[in-house]
Structure 1
């Protein structure tokens, strides 16, 4: 009799555990875009091919979800539908649909863009960090991490380190850097990849090419009129770096 009483209880507990949905809460990043950029070297091409969204932040307790595409950030109301899909309602009657597929968060295809997949980062940015920071840190580490030597240009022979938090060491005068992911900087750079280098209180845009473990940084020459948005073309090469 004791066995008969225990068995139903055991089955009920198992059923209860199985019915619990996986918690989608947390930060999810577009690892496919990072992998493509790191392997091919062409940053903007990879972001366009696997984006446009680069990071999701899901907050079930607040019933909120937000995304970043490297330029814009938008937050919407999180609704869990009967089929366990997540519907994100944004201002203006605009919706996105998310679901879990194993350890991936899937953003459903829409009339605007194809299906996109996200994973949770190995190391997430601090809770107070700006939206998109976890993606940026993972990208910076994969794309520019490691030890670089200046083969040509100011500081020739020196060691350069690009840190995941945006600091740069060894590139003469430069203190911080930022890769252009989307928005105005991408529009101004056209077909080229670009980055921003900060020199003390001043900074400027540069164009670059990454071919495997070789990185070339060029002057960004503005060919637009003074009253127009800058339009950069590749100028003289300032640095050539080799990663070891």
Structure 2
């Protein structure tokens, strides 16, 4: 069987390596490794002109919208709060266009952390700009249990409560059109959202690329095959 091609959105940042300090398209290695472990081929999708998103997604078998900086609040009609980070406007525009192209074309889609939040915004939802008490330390991942909602796509992939790696700063507030909640934390924070059949569209609030559990990514890869 041909391995499906899974596009993963990337950062565009100033970076240093060796003797170089240059603008770079960056992606934590956990993302491509998770795609590869789940049986897919990973392709990086750095920010591009939003008008090219449909043609890009048409060449993919599946799409992952990766984690990263805060979604600019203007995207969901809000003013930035005091703890909201600086905007990443190129990424916002590009990834929203990728999401809309995937939804329009029926391309399997997985949103991770920021990717889940952008999925919600793309469908008209809003975000909580800061969750108090959810980040253990700056730049350090924590863990907490996530409970699936019975009968959902996520529950079919991970049917039991599981401990997941997290770096929660923002989260879903008003749910986007058509989305259903498919997992939550013990405090009620929305941990996964999805679109009902026949689409394969799932967003998770945590970072599966930071763990060894491939079940969520394997579901995307199967849908993309």
Common fold, TM-score beyond 0.5?
A: no
Please identify the structure whose Cα radius of gyration is greater: 1
**More helix as a share of residues:** 2
User: TM-score normalised to the size of structure 2?
Assistant: 0.25
Q: Relative contact order (C-alpha < 8 Å, sep 6+): which is higher?
A: 2
- Normalised TM-score (structure 1): 0.24
- Flag the structure with higher strand content: 1
